Structure 1
Amino acid sequence: MRPILNLFSLLILFPVISFCQTTISGRITDAKNQPVAGANVTIKDSYDGASADANGAYKFSTSDEGDVIIVASMVGFTSAEKRLHLSGGEVVVNFNLKEASNELNTVTITAGVFEASDEKKMVILSPLDIVTTASAVGDIYGALQTLPGAQPTQEQEGLFVRGGDASEAKTLIDGMLVANPYFSSVPDVPQRGRFSPFLFKGTNFSTGGYSAQYGQAMSSVLVLESEDLPPRSMGNIALMTVGGGGGYTKRWENTSLGANATYINLTPYFAMNKQNRDWDAPPQSFSGSLVFRQKTSETGMLKAFMNYQYSDLSLNYPNIDDVTNNSKMHFGLNNYNIFSMLSYKEVLDKKWTLNLAGSYSKDLSRVRPSPQSLVFSNQLWQARGSVSHTLGELSVIRAGAEVQYNPFSNLYNNYRIDSTELYSAVFLEGDAYITRKLVARAGLRVENSYLLRASNIAPRLSVAYKLGKYDQLNFAYGDFYQTPDRNYLIQTNLDHFEKATHYILNYQYVDEKRTFRIEGYYKLYQNLVRTSNPVSNPYQPVLAEDSKGKGYARGVDVFWRDKKTLKYTDYWISYSYIDAKRSTLYYYSEELQPTFTSNHIVNVVWKRWFPKLRSSFGFTYAYASGRPYFNPNKVDESNILSDRTRDYHNLSITANYLTTIYKYFTVVSLTVGNVAGFDNVFTYNYSSDGLRRNAIGPTSKRTIFLGVFINIGRDDDTE
């Protein structure tokens, strides 16, 4: 279901384009008015642009129309932006670039971190990158799975990073924890993320060694920074094989208000594309969102966001314990989810910055695994505040605090369990630029859990040294804690945070068009929860025996991205080697490889733009070596989890065509997943006597998505 749910977010905020041509030209100079040869000039979030010649002059044509942002960039200089209104004809735009004092010429902390921000030199994935990655189909988490360290998963949702399970990777929006970032779990059916990548201007994906500002995650944090004021008023309409949607955003001088709605019904799609699941009521969902932005001063911004989603589905699973194969097990799910937040940012003076945020979310799932009836309710109230102070030109110190109030309840038929967690934390962190080539970041985080009746102190340290103009070495160390799953907390008297200690060594080479990274890591686990049996169903009650589990994860990640060698082409290749083991089964002392971890992972992503055809084409190939699975016929200490699935292969393709419908910019998008029809198996379900088993593979042999996205925009900025 990941490639086909909630896809209108794919191109919802694409810039408005028509086919009247505008020629943009100008000259790029430095502070001494000397030409900057080779500087790049592009339209932001577009493929249109050119490079400056020996005299600093550039010229290119574009079919974009309306308000756009022109970006001039060059290695060793700070990028410059100018906003223009395009309506055909010729436009002259000159740039004067300043030498970079804190980007290329100065070392930055990057160990374990992939950033996707328009303002950063270390750009890895932008919103446009995410929606044009074939295997992702507009899903943030699907695109992140093409980066090193992330495990591809097609039978369950979640980010599995460097030998850690999905609960060890957390998502934050403007510093606020998202308790349920994915659609609700369905056994053996993967779910998409709930949010569009175009809601965010920055995407910081850390695979380890992250800042003391963040906690409650032993493996990874995905930090999303929401967009500010939109450039203009705009509307959108989406027509898809799986449903439809639309929205409108109104922009005033210092204020904007937007509303979007989407309805998805997979019944027609499933009728056309044969499924490998016995759907009784195919998934359908409705989602709506409100986005408010208010510029409170020259440097202040108030943001409010609310997202509501409802989904419903039911399907039948084969009763593997029935030797006649005539009976089935019914599973039904309906889910209500609300996420809302309010954030405020202000630069108090030139050296002090204040960030405040609050959030409320609720997730209610009614689950009907026949003959049972389960209800799970989870609420989260949270508040966070931080201040930062600049010391000198580059060094900075940060301090902050956060609190989370989390009431939750589980209803198992007529048996109800209620509990409340109160989590609080404070942090202090500083970046010290010893020289322009050497920087150290030291931090300390203190956390407390009411349910555990426990506290912890987590030190963090990162050091980076610049080797040359384009490359540097990075080292990171830290302790990372999180409270065990809340379902364990209400059943067992646990009194320890789970803990992971990270050691990371990283080398990277980054220029304007190419990125190379190689990173080695070692992660040591302590106080992991141990259970009696492997957990195979997200709604299966599992009793925690104790918190004496331990383990490790070690490996090497390699990443190469090239936007220079081939014209109009962007590609990247990633490789991960992971050796991970942990002792989380109570009756086994030996550390075992987790069922969600492959030893070898390869991803190849390729994209090509054809300007004359107004089209783009891309593909993603993913490979992962076989993963362990639980075989009840092998339960001895010497052979448990010794079986492996076959290796995983997936080739996905995508094509996009730009056109106009009634003068409105329109994108026609086609994506086909697993186009080669690889017969993948993710795990096996066994009968209770261990004599029969069913292979769990993808929900369909191939996935096909076709959508038409119409963007209706006009310049209302001055109204």
Structure 2
Amino acid sequence: MEKTVAFRIKFLLLLTFLSSAGLAAQVKISGTVTDAGEKPVSGAIVFIENHFSEADTDENGKFEIISDDLKSGDHITLMVHKKGFTDKALEINISGQAVTDLKINLGIKVAIVDEVYIDKIQIKDIQEQKPFAKSDIDVILGSPESSVLASMSYLPGVQQVGETGELSVRGGEGFETRYLFDGMLVNNMVGANIDGQAGGSRLSPSLFREMAIIQGGFSAEYGNALSSVVRMTSKDVAPSKNLNFLLSPFSLDTQMAMPIKAENKQSVEVGINIMDFDVYARNIKDDLDYQSLKNGPYTLTGNLFYKNNFSDKLKFRYFSNNSFTRIDALALDIDNPVQELSSRVKNLNYFNQATLTYERNANTKFFFGINNTFNTDETLYGKNGNSLLYRKDFNITQFKTSLNKKLRKNTFINTGIEYFIENSDLINGDRSVDYLNNYAGLYTELTTKLYRNLYASIGARGEYSWLVKKANLGGRFDVKYLDNANENEVGISYGNFYQQPGIVYNSNMNDLDFSRADHSILYYRYKNNGRNFSLELYHKKYSNLLLYTSQQANYDGYGYARGLDVYFRDGKTFDRMEYRISYSYTDAKRKYLNYPDEAPFHLNSKNKFTLSANYSLFDSNLLLGAFYNYASGRPYYNPGLGPEAFNSERAPDIHDLSSNLIYSFNVKNSAMLLIFSVSNLLGNNKIYNYTYSENDPYIRREVSPMYRRFFFIGLNIAFGLNKNNDLIDQILKRK
């Protein structure tokens, strides 16, 4: 849980330090931005290189910049950026107090929607539903925690499981969501945690250009996932040197990026984070009367990212992330409240990945990747001087190669193969399981234009698991209509999805099976000039789910999840303000695990509503964020009512109102950011579930966060800020 706190604060500060700039009138620069047809270009970002002065173009393509740090006689470079166009640079000599009526033509769009739409690697947008793609700035502005996982929980159909930190998507388990970094699987995305308290994101959003969650109906390229995938795409080579320090009462974070070759060909990025949460825990009392921190969490994390663009066609990436976490906690025995139970959690995680991308031409792209994850989770429980050890070690290596190729006009193929080698050792007290699992997946997917604005993707994926000793074959398709302006999209998706089982100690290792989910989705999406709307209806049918008793386990379980997701995002209506609204209705039932019969799924909230907004004050030097999250109570089993009432009761509804305040300023050549944030301002008790005594069904305790509120204050110092990077562009678009 405390790892969540540390990581989310780290990410918030690490990224948002760039959203600075106060404006005062001295020199005015204005003009109009147009395309090749002399039509106005709205939403383009216009800024002065190496200055804190910028503006967005309005619906008529007009912009106006007022700067207080320029004077007559200065020579500047005016930069214009708009997604889909080539960036434009103008050299300007300032004469007097104004430079007006500039005419800036961005030329022809890089990608045109209609006939050329598929011809330009827009294939991913056609192949997959990707309505919820987030930049690192979206992660910051989209939630108070500003971590990858927390920001996703403000999207429809997505809930962050309070007691683990995992994402439950459309009535699914946390492990049914898979995370991909540049197309490769990230194992163990959620960090270490103690019982009942959430772990946090292992990877910082600052690493990524885009993070997209696909709630269902995803491409045949992605397997071993029943509910959803989160695709994280890294940024390109760092364009300039910069050094960032984050200082807080309990952590120190340093991030450095350094180009090592001219013309943005190579760069090295290094990060180190040290966190000792004891400082916070000793000064602010927790809110649970049965559980507390004894020491820590202590966390040490280091990462290295090497990027080399050998040419425009050949690109290499190597990423390494290594972390160590230790948490000591105390809890009271539910049956004997004077008896203390100690626990010590230790986690060691090494993640290394290398990828090579070769674009032979505009119509052919090869990908090669390899990664390795070594992870050790160890928990030592103590009672009356006796200790019980739980330990899980796994070592997973993935190999993947793929080909994207144009077969003929408006038809592309995406095909590939991946292979996993997994060694795992599990110890739970006096029980242990050791196993080796090799897993292979082969997929092929065609994307084509059927007629005018009608597109289709159809694919198949086959898998074989040496552990399960079985193969599966699933089909997937998506048909959608896009209007000429690429503003309205309506479509239908269907697919079969499989996932390997987890290991149960009392299961027969020779009688395992793949779990299966069949997705049916009908969707409508709208996107235009700062506004996004999405409406989705879905039905998910589960089969081959795990069932167990104390004596045996099998895969005869089943279930369903069905519902409605609505999302609206508006950055246009109000000046200097963006707000986001989501609503989800999810009906989910299963016969699963120890369920005696089909019953409401224990992680599902039937109704979920979120509202978040960001507003910049005082010429954008001050950014205010407000976040409200409502979730109806989750089902739970009250053993006092008997098995016939399994999961018939619900925990109280959850209301969470949070806020943050970000103040940006400059000291000489350094950009400063002062952050203050409060989670759960009203201090509402968020009860996720209940733990019952094994001896008395009328004795129970709440499963709740250790801290109802969390306060943070910190300072980020950035050296070497350069306006010529995508992160700045995205920040300016949000202002």
Residue deviations 1:334-369, cap 9 Å, x none?
Answer: 111011100111111232101111001111122102
Residues 1:450 and 2:455 are matched in the alignment = no
| TM-score, length-scaled by structure 1 | 0.90
In the alignment, the residues of structure 1 paired with residue 109 and residue 208 of structure 2 have an alpha-carbon distance, to the nearest angstrom, of 28
The equivalent of 2:626 in structure 1 is: 619
The equivalent of 1:263 in structure 2 is: 274
Q: Secondary structure at the match of 1:208?
A: coil
Q: How does 1:110-259 map to 2 (within 5 A)?
A: 112-116=129-133, 125-135=134-144, 137-252=145-260, 253=262, 254-259=265-270
Q: Bigger shift: 447-456 or 292-301? A: 292-301
Residues 1:342 and 2:345 are matched in the alignment = no
Give, as a single letter, the amino acid of the residue that structure 2 aligns with 1:420. Answer: L
In the alignment, the residues of structure 2 paired with residue 68 and residue 596 of structure 1 have an alpha-carbon distance, to the nearest angstrom, of 52
In the alignment, the residues of structure 1 paired with residue 93 and residue 308 of structure 2 have an alpha-carbon distance, to the nearest angstrom, of 28
Give, as a single letter, the amino acid of the residue that structure 2 aligns with 1:255. Answer: Q
Q: How far off is 1:146 after superposition?
A: 0.3
In the alignment, the residues of structure 1 paired with residue 77 and residue 324 of structure 2 have an alpha-carbon distance, to the nearest angstrom, of 35
Q: Bigger shift: 686-695 or 490-499? A: 490-499
Alignment partner for residue 511 of structure 2, among 476, 494, 503? 494
The equivalent of 1:119 in structure 2 is: none
Name the CA shift for 1:261/1:99 in 2 (closer, same or farther; >3 Å). Answer: closer
Q: Secondary structure at the match of 2:641?
A: coil
In the alignment, the residues of structure 1 paired with residue 575 and residue 245 of structure 2 have an alpha-carbon distance, to the nearest angstrom, of 32
In the alignment, the residues of structure 2 paired with residue 147 and residue 421 of structure 1 have an alpha-carbon distance, to the nearest angstrom, of 34
Q: Secondary structure at the match of 2:619?
A: helix
Q: Secondary structure at the match of 2:150?
A: helix
Q: How does 1:169-568 map to 2 (within 5 A)?
A: 169-252=177-260, 253=262, 254-275=265-286, 276=288, 277-322=291-336, 325-370=337-382, 371-392=387-408, 394-413=410-429, 415-466=431-482, 469=485, 470-487=487-504, 492-532=509-549, 545-568=553-576
Residue deviations 1:404-444, cap 9 Å, x none?
Answer: 10101012346542111101011101110123310000011
Give, as a single letter, the amino acid of the residue that structure 2 aligns with 1:503. Answer: S
The equivalent of 2:108 in structure 1 is: 98
Residues 1:4 and 2:5 are matched in the alignment = yes
8 Å contact from structure 2 (residues 132, 213) kept in 1? yes
Alignment partner for residue 689 of structure 2, among 678, 683, 687? 683
Residue deviations 1:472-529, cap 9 Å, x none?
Answer: 2111000000001144697543332100000000011111211111100000001001
The equivalent of 1:665 in structure 2 is: 671
Q: How far off is 1:178 after superposition?
A: 1.0
8 Å contact from structure 2 (residues 579, 614) kept in 1? yes
Q: Bigger shift: 368-377 or 399-408? A: 368-377
Q: How far off is 1:114 after superposition?
A: 2.9
The equivalent of 2:640 in structure 1 is: 633
Name the CA shift for 1:574/1:188 in 2 (closer, same or farther; >3 Å). Answer: same
8 Å contact from structure 1 (residues 465, 474) kept in 2? yes
In the alignment, the residues of structure 2 paired with residue 581 and residue 630 of structure 1 have an alpha-carbon distance, to the nearest angstrom, of 14
Q: Secondary structure at the match of 1:132?
A: helix
Q: Bigger shift: 675-684 or 337-346? A: 675-684
Name the CA shift for 1:613/1:348 in 2 (closer, same or farther; >3 Å). Answer: closer
Residue deviations 1:239-286, cap 9 Å, x none?
Answer: 013211213221132211121101111111112322123111131100
Name the CA shift for 1:486/1:226 in 2 (closer, same or farther; >3 Å). Answer: farther
Residue deviations 1:218-249, cap 9 Å, x none?
Answer: 00000111111011111110101321121322
Q: How does 1:691-706 map to 2 (within 5 A)?
A: 691-706=698-713
Q: How far off is 1:299 after superposition?
A: 2.3
Q: Secondary structure at the match of 1:129?
A: helix
Q: Secondary structure at the match of 1:271?
A: helix
Alignment partner for residue 710 of structure 1, among 706, 711, 717? 717
Give, as a single letter, the amino acid of the residue that structure 1 aligns with 2:215. Answer: T
8 Å contact from structure 1 (residues 290, 307) kept in 2? yes
Alignment length, in residue pairs? 689
8 Å contact from structure 1 (residues 134, 671) kept in 2? no
In the alignment, the residues of structure 2 paired with residue 704 and residue 516 of structure 1 have an alpha-carbon distance, to the nearest angstrom, of 33
In the alignment, the residues of structure 1 paired with residue 570 and residue 142 of structure 2 have an alpha-carbon distance, to the nearest angstrom, of 15
Residue deviations 1:136-185, cap 9 Å, x none?
Answer: x2211100000000024322210100000001001010111111101124
Name the CA shift for 1:167/1:329 in 2 (closer, same or farther; >3 Å). Answer: same
Gaps of 5+ in 2: 71-75, 119-124, 725-735
Give, as a single letter, the amino acid of the residue that structure 1 aligns with 2:266. Answer: T
8 Å contact from structure 1 (residues 315, 332) kept in 2? yes
Residue deviations 1:95-152, cap 9 Å, x none?
Answer: 3243586438969548753342xxxxxxxx32112112343x2211100000000024
8 Å contact from structure 2 (residues 4, 199) kept in 1? no
8 Å contact from structure 2 (residues 501, 512) kept in 1? no
Q: How far off is 1:29 after superposition?
A: 2.4
In the alignment, the residues of structure 2 paired with residue 587 and residue 155 of structure 1 have an alpha-carbon distance, to the nearest angstrom, of 20
Q: Secondary structure at the match of 1:558?
A: strand
In the alignment, the residues of structure 2 paired with residue 190 and residue 460 of structure 1 have an alpha-carbon distance, to the nearest angstrom, of 34
Q: How far off is 1:81 after superposition?
A: 2.8
Q: Bigger shift: 282-291 or 391-400? A: 391-400
Give, as a single letter, the amino acid of the residue that structure 2 aligns with 1:183. Answer: G
Q: How far off is 1:586 after superposition?
A: 5.1
In the alignment, the residues of structure 2 paired with residue 307 and residue 246 of structure 1 have an alpha-carbon distance, to the nearest angstrom, of 14
Give, as a single letter, the amino acid of the residue that structure 1 aligns with 2:421. Answer: Y
8 Å contact from structure 1 (residues 16, 665) kept in 2? no
Q: Percent identity?
A: 25
Name the CA shift for 1:564/1:663 in 2 (closer, same or farther; >3 Å). Answer: same
Give, as a single letter, the amino acid of the residue that structure 1 aligns with 2:694. Answer: S
Q: Secondary structure at the match of 1:12?
A: helix
Q: Bigger shift: 627-636 or 143-152? A: 627-636
Name the CA shift for 1:346/1:15 in 2 (closer, same or farther; >3 Å). Answer: farther
The equivalent of 2:73 in structure 1 is: none
Name the CA shift for 1:38/1:201 in 2 (closer, same or farther; >3 Å). Answer: closer
8 Å contact from structure 1 (residues 497, 527) kept in 2? yes
Q: How far off is 1:27 after superposition?
A: 3.4
8 Å contact from structure 1 (residues 409, 418) kept in 2? yes
Q: Bigger shift: 23-32 or 613-622? A: 23-32
Q: How far off is 1:675 after superposition?
A: 0.2
Residue deviations 1:600-636, cap 9 Å, x none?
Answer: 0000011101252501001110001111112221233
| TM-score, length-scaled by structure 2 | 0.88
